[in-house]
Amino acid sequence: MPLPCNARCDGGPTRARVRAESEQGIVEFWKRTHGALPRHLVFDSKLTTYANLDKLDALGIVFITLRRRSPKLLQQIANLPRSAWRQIELDVPSRKYKTPRLYEQQVTLAQRPFRQFCIQDLGHDKPTILVTNETRTPKAIITRYAQRMLIENGLSDAVRFFHMDALSSSVGMKVDFDMELTVIASGLYRLLARRMRGYSDAQARQIFRDLIDIPADVSVTPHEVTVKFHRRSHLPILVASGLLHQSVVVPWWAGARLKLSA
């Protein structure tokens, strides 16, 4: 049972034009900075138009994209017989929903035919609809798309904890500098998390709450600043990390040292 196609990914002509320019800009930026076209793109339904999916395919760029869940498309999916669906198992041990149901078909959205996957039981109330020119197995394609959420979680952490969406300056240099500080801070938190048992996948706000924003006594001398943490439930994790009781020179303190202790 073929499902209907929409004329574009989402929105009206103006939004479609903006998304088309956005997608083209990404491809051109990648080619300019890396000397070649991107080999694989994963994006949502609002990035570009169906016509531009044809262009990506013509360029040999492999892509996976969400398709907008229009009411008509959702109704068509709801009318599919139970026999049209098949269950697959995703090889992602840490994932909660590992056995989604899948319906695959070929669709022509503009000029070229693509593969379309309707996926149920991924932890969402409504089905997930993917469109791709990939030739790999459905299991590999769905797993690859699921990895996109790791990037989204990182962006969410940057927005909510580092306030990345609060770059208020109208001066481009200031905004670029704010972004650089955000990237540096995020990287430092990731390096710290690697030293802390059980925190390798934790987001920055959890690391800050459990391991950084804790009471301590600070003593300052001309040559050393000592920070002695109070006893708390997460203190053993800091102790086990090996970061305590080490004296580190801080260059912008005129050579004075920092020492953390428990």
42 vs 45: CA distance, rounded Å: 10
The band of 55, judged by pLDDT with boundaries at 50, 70 and 90, is very high
Q: Is residue 114 within 8 Å of residue 58, measured between CB atoms?
A: no
Separation between Cα atoms, residue 127 and residue 22, nearest integer Å: 27
* 129 vs 149, higher pLDDT: 129
| Global pTM value | 0.59
pLDDT level of residue 3 (50, 70, 90 thresholds)? very low
CB 228 within 8 A of CB 235: no
For residue range 138-162, list pLDDT tens digits in order: 999 988 887 776 666 666 677 677 7
Rounded CA-CA distance 24/30 in Å is 10
Phi/psi at 228 (nearest 5 deg)? -110, 110
Task: Work out the pLDDT band at 135, boundaries 50, 70, 90.
Answer: very high
- Is residue 172 within 8 A of residue 165, CB to CB? The reply is no
Average of per-residue pLDDT across 95-121: 91
Q: Domain limits of the chain?
A: 13-146, 152-210, 214-261
Instruction: Report phi then psi at 179, rounded to 5.
Output: -65, -40
For the segment 70-80, the average pLDDT, to the nearest whole number, is 93
At 95, the pLDDT band (50, 70, 90 cuts) reads: low
Sign of the four-CA dihedral 188, 193, 235, 215:
positive
Check the CA dihedral 157-161-162-168 and report its sign.
Answer: positive
Tokens of 208: 């800050």
